[in-house]
Chains A and B, each alone.
Chain A
Amino acid sequence: MNLKGKRILIIDDDPDFVRSTGMILKSAGYEVLEAFSGKEGLEKSKAENPDLYIIDLMMETYSEGSLVVDALVKDENTRDKPRIMITSVDLKGPWDSYPGDEWLACDFLLQKPVPPAELLKCVEKAIA
């Protein structure tokens, strides 16, 4: 399957992260769409119908990211689209279990900073 040209929507309120993540994805041949809030993300999603979502968990509010996921799951046009959740919350701590991937209804849950190679691997797996 040809992954080049697949369109990925990054939803994150940290413009530096959007930029660096976008550079990684573009270097691998993906087309990148950007949104800087949950609301903008959902609007872009509707207008652009991307192939994959990369969503930050904590934006303006603590769980804006998971509200975006809820909205995507509820809409039958986006329900089956792969999603990757990214956060700079320390996922391993404080030693009591953090809600797992399945709980967040995402294909992958990654911790920032994500090494470029790992990000690309997850994107590939999620899209395939």
Chain B
Amino acid sequence: MISNEKILNKYPDPRRENLIPLLQEIQELHGYVSRETIIEIGSHLPLPASKIYGVATFYNQFRFNPPGKYHIQICRGTACHVKGSSNVLDMLQRELKIKAGETTRDGMFSIEVVACLGACGLAPVISVNGEFHADVSSKKLQLILKQLRAKDKGNG
């Protein structure tokens, strides 16, 4: 694992306003906030693990599981909401049998809810590993997942 030391040293005080950028940088580095990093942050600041977890769960952006091979971000901004993104999220969760913030057991897929992907013209929009898919409907979603699964099999 890459060392968190550099990031930690940038934030010496146990203040909430420090904790959030710290968590952001850590997540940037590892893709998620692990148990180990919470322990590390806790002894660095110092702050109890329950507090760090509490603050982190207040925001949607933090995840506590390693992202899947295909990390699916789903936009829940206003435009996407109006175009039915909550149905898309429901479908996705049902289809993959995980909730937003979780990763499938085989490590293939993970879901993240984001406030706005900044592509309102494409609503409702999802992004798979950074690649945007516009106008997502139930049918389209199933197709996307099918293609991803097939692609993975093809790769062996």
Asked if A and B are interacting partners, one says no
Chain A interfacial positions (CB closer than 8 Å to B): none
